[in-house]
A and B are shown apart, each in its own frame.
Chain A
């Protein structure tokens, strides 16, 4: 009995060694051997740049940083030492593992081409063990956008047509056909198209038949891929891009059937158009309409209002209503009834401009409530934190205000009442006044007002700040009848220089001040990118460089052509 049991248990033990056991153990041994050999064979990988977000792209001022992704973790010091940008662009380097971010500290100059090169670098593994490493040298180009502006021509062939003037190539292109007589225009955010309103002389009805069109500029935008946002689908990236559309392709966006179009605004993202329309049969049917691609135009159900502006987030509309400004949501359709304003700013009768990051607005207070300030106008800076700060009070009018897109400066066209100059031909009362227009720059941090230019009297003036903040365009049209003076409207080009402050506080420390401004600008950039940063801290940082960024106009020039509404392409 006992012998039988022991034999059985031995059989069982034998039976336990199954084919799987043998095979699995053999394979495991083989794999272990292969692993050993592989580890002994050493590292054969070559570190390389996987991705550079600005490669062969066209960048603008809204692009403040690029990313370089490496194939493996890199030795930070070796990359920072060998990375070159030609021409140089100062910036700060930060790392997140295999990714390097380079945040520019100065605004990008437009119309230039840059080369980024990294000839050698070490990966972290080889750097740690002090072994030679392989790195694939990297070189890439990127451009900034063209320095170009649009205007409505005044003379000859260009009369009442939209013209694109390219300062880099020194050429002008007429974009719109002859039968369209332009009234207003606004470029799309990438400069590839322009939205404009025009009356068609081949139609009847003169000014009443204003219609809204887009026209292509012939510029192919190649913006960098937004690494924060959603990537375009793979098929879109792989598909070859079609040939750029030729310049001057006009498309009708909104016709004038039943309704007359009065004024329009294009949202900063180029997706939404708001048009003030009035019913041709029923003038009380009056108000803003919303036009979006792929949807029929629809009226915005709200109280009737006047002047309007789409906010930088492209989701809300600032509409003058009664004696103040209402902020109206442009988002999804309201369930029922008119849209209720999100907010109402009772004191401000006009919004002149909004900062591109939406943090502040330049608004005009007509000072109706304060008897002492009657007949003056004030320019206010209203921040999204609810701070209201008076920047300027003038006895004349505040005509226009534009934020510098790159710095903490606002440019203002305003007028002061001055004694009228003696005119020999006409009789004047003893206290005759005229409005003297002025171009001013106000630094936002300390509210310092610096007059830039005194402008000729009796002019219609339009101001445009270059997207890189390095120049202004002013166009002046004499209000006195054009027929008398054979001078057409003039476009002035005003290069700006940001002068260091009078160096009485810190003589011989220009460099340090420069660095200061660098730090402050980047603080501002950070604040703009991550909305969560408290604006106040950014403002404090700005205060340190406020004096460093006072602009002055040097060497103004006029162009040999004339036109109105000269506006920089973004």
Chain B
């Protein structure tokens, strides 16, 4: 019975903590959808892949969202046609590389300022590396969920030849708009999204604001439901595997990193507050292990895997997860073994 109580407490605390940030992310996403012209957005994106990855990682300074809020924004970036490197860089780095998290970490680790800077540095390194790996794929759509690829509109002609759509959208049920041969638009998609793709001239301001609210409600309903499921799973796992068990994995230079990464994955704590959570371990764990927690936690955790599933297919999530874990482990292990 106490376990049920604990589980419910954990569930609600995760939900309460994440919901405002998801709302913030949805607001940013809706603003991006209706107020940012994709042509202009694409024009300012660097053409160089490395620069694009870096730029994506630094967008977090404009959209201070945590790991639940960044997913709607990353999804919007993808549908707006931003380079994969930008979207992946944003997805992995934005929860850490943003002013709110930087400030919170600074407050928590004032007497260990290197933690603050290494957190940002390691997060950027991991995010840019993974973004580069993902940009090896010229057309990311095979790794995205089908409903997202449908929203992405017309692919580049060169790419479109190589990847034939698996099933014609017309073979599904629904209402469609044939714009040109081969260009099909599903009309049951949210009106705002349809409009954003169809309309050439932007609608008047008042109408746009109303559509923004519509879109926000829609995205929040979709992602909020997923967040509830994710939080429930995270709460269940935390009750099934108590934190003490994870922490008892080890305190050695290697095992402490594994323990803290596992802890970060399971507790699914929001990146804006995780530094205070980590602070309670500051005296018992090495700086490397703390950094592993602070770098890996915001990238991938149990709770936001469910949200990631609304964007990526399972295979891509496994790549994201394994690569992020390996890179974090490697960087922090070097720190533990060589600097102490």
Contacts and interface: CB of A to CB of B under 8 A. Distances in A.
Contacts of A208: none
Nearest to A136: B340
B284 interface: yes
Interface stretch (A39-47, A172-180, A284-292, A306-314): A39-47
Of A18, A51, A231, chain B has the most CB atoms within 10 Å of the CB of A18
Nearest to A134: B340
A16 B254 contact: no
Contacts of A47: 340
Interface in B282-340: 282-287, 315-316, 319, 322-323, 326-327, 329-330, 333-334, 336-340
A31 B133 contact: no
Given A18-B142, A45-B253, A97 B338 contact: no
A422 interface: no
Given A125-B252, A125-B253, A96 B142 contact: no
B251 A45 contact: no
Contacts of A97: 282-285
Interface residues of A, number: 40
Given A18-B143, A45-B336, A231-B111, A12 B134 contact: no
Interface in A390-447: none
Nearest to A231: B110
Nearest to B326: A31
A35 B143 contact: no
B333 A19 contact: no
Contacts of B319: 20, 24, 28
A18 B337 contact: no
Of B251, B319, B323, chain A has the most CB atoms within 10 Å of the CB of B319
Contacts of A31: 323, 326-327, 330
Contacts of A535: none
Interface string A527-545: 0000000000000000000
Given A28-B326, A73-B286, A45 B137 contact: no
Nearest to A32: B326
B247 to A, nearest CB: 13
A124 interface: yes
B340 A20 contact: no
Contacts of B140: 20
Contacts of B283: 96-99
A21 interface: yes
A339 B229 CA distance: 57
B26 to A, nearest CB: 28
Contacts of B251: 73, 124-125
A15 interface: yes
A38 B322 contact: no
B333 A38 contact: yes
Contacts of A45: 253, 336-340
A34 to B, nearest CB: 6
A16 B314 CA distance: 13
Interface in A121-140: 123-125, 128
A147 interface: no
Given A28-B323, A97-B283, A71 B340 contact: yes
A311 to B, nearest CB: 31
Contact of A20 (B134, B322, B337, B339): B134
A15 B165 CA distance: 11
A42 B337 contact: yes
Interface residues of B, number: 39
A96 B110 CA distance: 18
A97 B287 CA distance: 12
Given A31-B330, A34-B330, A18 B137 contact: yes
B107 to A, nearest CB: 10
B243 to A, nearest CB: 16
A123 B337 CA distance: 13
Contacts of A234: 113
A24 to B, nearest CB: 4
A93 interface: no
A78 B111 CA distance: 25
Contacts of B333: 35, 38-39
A470 interface: no
B323 A24 contact: yes
A559 to B, nearest CB: 45
B148 to A, nearest CB: 16
Contact of A43 (B137, B163, B253): B253
A12 B326 contact: no
A51 B337 CA distance: 20
A98 B285 CA distance: 8
Contacts of A27: 133, 323
Given A15-B163, A31-B330, A44 B323 contact: no
A15 B142 contact: yes
A44 B330 CA distance: 15
Contacts of A51: 111
A48 B326 contact: no
B136 interface: yes
Nearest to A31: B326
Interface of B: 110-111, 113, 133-134, 136-138, 140, 142-143, 163, 166, 251-254, 282-287, 315-316, 319, 322-323, 326-327, 329-330, 333-334, 336-340
7 contacts: A35-B333, A42-B337, A71-B340, A73-B285, A97-B282, A97-B283, A125-B252
Interface of A: 12, 15-16, 18-21, 23-24, 27-28, 31-32, 34-35, 38-39, 41-48, 51, 69, 71-73, 96-99, 123-125, 128, 231, 234
Q: Which 10 A-B pairs have the closest CB atoms?
A: A97-B283, A45-B340, A20-B137, A31-B326, A97-B284, A24-B319, A23-B136, A71-B340, A96-B283, A19-B136
Given A20-B319, A31-B330, A44-B337, 10 more contacts: A20-B133, A20-B134, A20-B136, A28-B319, A39-B254, A45-B337, A69-B111, A96-B283, A97-B283, A125-B252
